[in-house]
Each structure stands twice: as structure tokens, then as C-alpha cells.
Structure 1
């Protein structure tokens, strides 16, 4: 439908039209009893428009601000909020042909799905940390929950029966009361919406995998401000061929093409091939993920996940201000560290009830941040982290680090240089968390992955690396009183000279990419 004003001051006429236009008037003007068919000389210029709008602020001003508020949004009792609203317009008109793509409905679908998935992944991250912490008292911990969740989700894609049920519980892929807005058809008709045909097994879990696809796309989006990429791969014994449908879905949702290798007669060659892929994906930071002897002729399937991140601080530490200082491992024991120092404005939360301070250290452009959770002090012979470790949940973590809880104040920041390289075989850990069937030759059901009924998950290796220095961070992996922002407040001292927890978050998706505990230099 095209409106053309009469000759005269076209700008004035257009302004009047824009001011007076309502949907009721538009409906009246374009009704069949108002319009007539006549022969006319039609002149229409070729038009090509490419516009991109962030509708968040606009919709807020149109009085739907609650939908974008983490504290006020109410989507059927879910803790969801609109991260952003985007409407892409691509219109091409030549003669009588036009293309218009509106992804506002897709936005609703993906925000709901992504936020649910972020909560699931975050809850899994805290569960896994607590389980690793049980066997790592007094030791450093560092892992990538995002990488592990993504890799396991790729396996979950082919899990069936009780194996799938257990994995869903551990990964928090629970479906109770889960309502998800369906995406529109890619070729919508003018009449009744066409039903999307799906495979039966995908009806229950499709939203999970669509959510991962969306998160992967957002996290892996090229960015000149930092390097961040994730990759996942399955290596299966070649005599256990994967079914074509699984291969298609793994590629569609996870950009993964599982690799067949010869574990049976060439296990060492397969091990080197896997290690080479990991080294390449992590820019050389992760070497020898699989140690000698870790795979053999009995190996049926190996899950490998890799993630690499390198970013510079938005406010860099000055190297000349770095000196050797004591790090208090306990109340009576210290170890020397290279302690960095910076005095600047940072977002911080001080909680008297938890005897805890939380600070956000953003990377350039604030697209990713490191959060440090530091107990006020060590009161006994322990690390001082026990209360935090016991009380910490994802819901509390999300609340404490939300923008409306943290205040920007001047901080004297002391942070040790950190370099951690850990290695985990997560088989026993994940099994004890509630998914033993996946690792049991007699119980595992991966019939959605392979026609072979005796396929089971034999190894899950995870080897993360992190280095924190004055410039920034390089990492890889295979309610309390809020201090108001006032200029005259005395600078807060945030001195990380005793054990603390930390994590790196992708701010747009709220995804926890890395999580760790630093307690022993």
C-alpha cells in the first residue's frame, strides 16, 4: 500500500499524514468500500532500504518498561526480561515485488529461550563448582561451564530414555511449566499459519538446542575488541557410525561435525589428532589435552570441548605499580605473589550479611566482564570462603551482580597476577552428580546418536587455562547494604590478598564462560 500526497509542499503534507495517522484511519481508508479500481499511469521509483533498529528504548518509552526490567518482568512466573528488541527491515521493491523480513516475533522466542538456557547453564556451573570443590579443598579450581554445558548438550541431542532424563536433570534442562513462544514460519502464508513439521524426538527438546544455537552465534560473533571462540567435537570409534539425522542436527545447532577415528587399532594416532585440533582451536594455549594412555582400543566415544578468550581490561593496570606482596592462603600462612594495583571507578557491591565484596572488572567496551567475589577476611584456619561456597546459588549470583545492585565508586584495587592450568576427567564427577547411565556400557542409551545399542560415553576431558595480568586476561579450556554512588565517599579498598572466587561473563547473554577459585598461588 502506497500513499502519495497531492502536488504542493510534500514535506508538509507528509508531516500532517504522520501526525494524523492512526490504525483506525488506515483501516478505514484502505477498506474495499472506500477504494476503487481505475486505469492510471503508475510511476514508482526503485527502493532499497536496509535499516536496523534497537527497539529497547523505544518500547520502554511506549510504556512497556517492565518487560525489559530484570526485577519487574513477569513472563508467567519466569525470571525473564527482554535483553534487547531488534527489528531488522530489509525491503527491496522492483515493479510489484517486495521482500520484508520482520524478526520481532523471533526476538520474543529467542529471548525467552536464551534466558531460560542461561539460567540452566548457570545453575549447572554452580553445581559443578561445588562438586569439584568437594575434592579440591585448599586447591585452585578453574573450568569453563559454558564449554562443558555445550559439549554435553551435543551428546544430549542423541540421548534417549533414562540416559536423557538423567542428563536433563544434571544440566537443569527441566521442562516443568516451560512455555516457549514458537518462531514464525520462514515462509508464512496469508491464511492460517502452517504447522512446522518436526521429528518426534525434537518436540520435547528442540527449544534447548535452538537456544544453544543462538547463544553460540552471539558468543562466537567476531569482535575487534576481544578474541572469543568456542568449538566442540565428538570423536567416535569408526565402527560405531553416527546416524545421518544426528549429524544433520549436530551441524545445524552446534556447528559440529563429529569425527570418526580408529581407536580400535590406532588409538595413539587418534589421540594425537584430537590434541592437535584442541591446540589449534585454543591458539596453542592447551597442549596435550589427552595424556598418553587416556584412550585405547576399548574407547568408543570421546567428547572434547574447547574455548578460547583473550581480552584487555577497559581500565588497565600499570605495570610499574606491580610489586611482590604476600597472599594469605590461610590465617597463618602466606605465599608471595605479583600484586597489581589500580585506583579507579568500578562497580562494587558490599554485603554485610555475607561479609563479602563483589567487584566487576570490565573488558574493553564492557561486552565481557570478570567478577571477583572476595570475603572480607579470614577469621580462622580455613580459606575464608566457606560461608560463600555454602550459600552460593546461581539465583543469588545473578541478583548480586545485577546492574541495579552494584554501585560505581572509587576503588583501590589490588589483584594478583594469575596463571592457572587445570585438567579434569569429568566422568566420575558428572556420574556422581546424577547421570551415571551415560557412562555405563549396560545402561547408556544413545540410540538417537548411533544404531549401535552398546555405545556409551567413555571419557570427558576438560583442560582449561587462564592468565590474568596488567593488560587483561587470556583464557582457554578444552541481601546486603549497597554503597550508593557519591563523589565524596572515601575510596573503597578491594584487596584480593586472600582466597577468592571469580568468573568471566559474556554480558549480553549473561553466560558464565569461565569460573574459578584462587586460593593457592
Structure 2
């Protein structure tokens, strides 16, 4: 049942991931983010939006593809519940909402936050001398949820006397591979970024039975790396070697990849399950996105504009806008498994060598950590440079 309930949200997050990935790839090599964290925070903003602001949120996050706006929030709640109580994995998904004391929000909005996002706003005084402690406490909460991987999410100057609400989502994921790589087999190998540029990196190795897909149209292999908890896996999209080099092939793949392919992989890839020699880099990524700079370029403009923002379903008036929004993400992949974390905050302010078949990831690739039954991507990334 869960996979049916969350299918719209999975597709929406995949679509948003592709759009964000293609945009960020223009200026950035290594990319890593959590679509579920981003869509949760902006889902809360969507809850209080109206007019053109609501329409832009529907377009960018594909919220408009749901049968109703209420279904968006119902599926957010459903996927949050689905992630709880998982065995053989550490998975924390949590929200926190701070609101200015004595500032009036509509009861329908407050009730819906509690109903769908399971949070009653914590009332604080952003205008007081305790402002720095409020930020420190919130950052400490994020750091605790993400086991120390996401630190100092919000800067103190992001909060002012005009701040009225802060919405935060944090995600932490740590899981062992179903079959671990042997650390003794890890060795230094070349990673081919372009046809003329290569760098050395630590390459893990394991020979074992894996599910491997191939698409002649896309000219790529897709490897499924299962975790010990069978509900989660890492998908690795590896372009085949190209005479123009790995980065050229990766950019070609990103131009071809679309939501139809990602949401119906069985229809676009031929799969085998056999003994494969897997070479996969050991790596660590940390990224930070200033969303008030990034998302307007994708079309989400009004909520960040104090003159145009319509968040009137929060307060009954058009007096709020999103003054800042930040997303931080962390990933470490090693022989044991993967550890990943992400957090998003939005601040509301008043106006003012084997014989087996091979999968050798020694060139740029895309990857995603996915909840298998629902298809929901927890994390999405692009690895270009060790």
C-alpha cells in the first residue's frame, strides 16, 4: 500500500531532482542534495501559499501533479511514517518550526502543520537579546539529528527582528552494504575526469552477485548496490567510456535523462543479475546551497520577493516572504556502507582485474539513494572529481 500512496511524491521528487541537477551542473562538478528534505520544507511553505506563489511551487516541485493540494501533504506524512522503525539502518527524518511569540498565524495553517508535518511551532522572540541562542539551539538540534554531520546550518544574521517563522527539516541516513567491500582490496586507481585529465583515488573492489542494467539508447550501465536493509539501495548511473571523456559522456546522459526513464526503469533498461566485479570509489561529499539564489533561476521567484510573495494562507495577509533558505548535505561512501545527512531551513520575514563482467566506476557518474518500494529518492548526486 505504501508504494501506491507515495508514488506521486516519488515522481515529484525525481522530477525536481533532475531539474535541480541539470541547473547546478552548469557551474558545479560534484553535487549532492536531499530532494525529500527540500520538498518537505517547501511543502510546509506550499501549505501557506496562494496565488502565483502557490502556482510556482506547484510547477517547481511538481505539487500540481497531485489530485489535490491536501494529497501533497498527506503523502509527505505517509513517507515520513514509512521511514520510521526501519531495521539494520539509522534513518532520522525530523521537522522543527520556530514562530515569533504573540504573532498571529491562521489556526488552519497551524493545525495543518501539526496534522501533516507533526510539529507545533515553538514560540520564541526573534527580536530579543536571546536571538543568538535561538540560532545556536536550532543548529544544535540539526547537528544532533544528523549525528554531527551538518553543523551551523543557519547563520546568526539570517535571523532578525523581522523574522516571524523558521521551518527546518533534517535527514540522517547510515546503512551498511548488504555485502561489504573488503578494505584490503581497496587500492589507488586513476579516475578519468576528461580524456585529458585523470586523478588518483581510492577504489573499492568486490566480486559478487549484483543487479546490473544496461540501456543502449542512453549508453549507460545502472548498478544496484543494496543495503543490509532491503528497503534501500544506491543506484549508480555510469556512462560507458566515451572518446571525448567521462565528463562529456555524463553531460550527454543528463541531457537525455528524463522523468519517464527514472520512473519506469524496467521499461528502459535490460537487467541481469549475475556475478560482477565492482570497482567503486571511496568518497566523501559536502555541499551547501543558498536556495534564495538557486530556486528563482528555476522559476520559483515570488516567495523570495517581499513585494510579490503570497503566503496569505499562513497569516491572512501578504506580509510574509522567504528571506533566506539554505540546504546542506553530507555523504560518505566506504567499504562498510553509506552515511548521508541533509538539512534545509527557510526563514520567513516581514517585508523589509577479473574475468567476471565489470562495473568500473572510474569516471564521472550520477547516483541516488532510494527507498525501493516507493521509489522515493532520499538523496541525489553527481560525482565528477575525487
The TM-score normalised by the length of structure 2 is: 0.90
Aligned-residue offset at 1:491: 2.2
Q: Does the Cα contact within 8 Å between 1:283 and 1:308 map onto a contact in 2?
A: yes
Counterpart for residue 388 of structure 1? 253
Structure 1: how far apart are the matches of 2:60 and 2:165?
20
Structure 2: how far apart are the matches of 1:292 and 1:440?
21
Counterpart for residue 143 of structure 1? 33
The answer to which of 285-294 and 304-313 deviates more is 285-294
Counterpart for residue 198 of structure 2? 334
Q: Which runs of 5+ in 1 are unaligned?
A: 1-83, 85-109, 180-203, 479-489
Structure 1: how far apart are the matches of 2:267 and 2:85?
26
Q: 1:316 to 1:111 in 2, by over 3 A?
A: closer
Q: Does the Cα contact within 8 Å between 1:302 and 1:458 map onto a contact in 2?
A: no
Q: Does the Cα contact within 8 Å between 2:239 and 2:246 map onto a contact in 1?
A: no
1:317 is the counterpart of 2:181 = yes
Aligned-residue offset at 1:292: 4.9
Counterpart for residue 278 of structure 1? 142
Counterpart for residue 510 of structure 1? 375
Q: Does the Cα contact within 8 Å between 1:113 and 1:208 map onto a contact in 2?
A: no
Structure 1: how far apart are the matches of 2:42 and 2:55?
13
Q: 1:336 to 1:291 in 2, by over 3 A?
A: farther
Aligned-residue offset at 1:232: 2.2
Structure 2: how far apart are the matches of 1:340 and 1:371?
16
Q: More relative contact order in 1 or in 2 (CA 8 Å, sep 6+)? A: 2
Counterpart for residue 91 of structure 2? 228
Matches within 5 A, 1:51-450: 84=1, 112-136=4-28, 139-175=29-65, 204-219=68-83, 221-238=84-101, 240-266=103-129, 267-380=131-244, 383=247, 384-400=249-265, 405-450=270-315
Q: Does the Cα contact within 8 Å between 1:303 and 1:459 map onto a contact in 2?
A: no
Structure 2: how far apart are the matches of 1:297 and 1:467?
38
Q: 1:224 to 1:402 in 2, by over 3 A?
A: farther
The answer to which of 311-320 and 389-398 deviates more is 389-398
Find the residue that maps to 1:364 and give its secondary structure: coil
Deviations 1:243-291 (A, max 9, x none): 3322221111111233343333444333212211101111221111123
Aligned-residue offset at 1:399: 2.4
Structure 1: how far apart are the matches of 2:100 and 2:202?
46
Aligned-residue offset at 1:511: 0.3
Find the residue that maps to 1:423 and give its secondary structure: strand
Find the residue that maps to 1:293 and give its secondary structure: helix
Aligned-residue offset at 1:432: 1.9
Q: Does the Cα contact within 8 Å between 1:331 and 1:381 map onto a contact in 2?
A: yes
Structure 2: how far apart are the matches of 1:167 and 1:148?
12
Q: Which runs of 5+ in 2 are unaligned?
A: 344-354
Matched length: 373
More strand per residue: 2
Aligned-residue offset at 1:239: 6.0
Find the residue that maps to 1:345 and give its secondary structure: strand
Deviations 1:98-133 (A, max 9, x none): xxxxxxxxxxxx765422222122211211211222
Deviations 1:119-178 (A, max 9, x none): 122211211211222231xx2000000111111111111111221111111111225xx6
The answer to which of 236-245 and 469-478 deviates more is 236-245
Find the residue that maps to 2:184 and give its secondary structure: helix
The TM-score normalised by the length of structure 1 is: 0.68
- Bigger-Rg structure (1/2): 1
CA RMSD of aligned residues (A): 2.1
Q: Does the Cα contact within 8 Å between 2:3 and 2:373 map onto a contact in 1?
A: no
Structure 2: how far apart are the matches of 1:339 and 1:302?
41
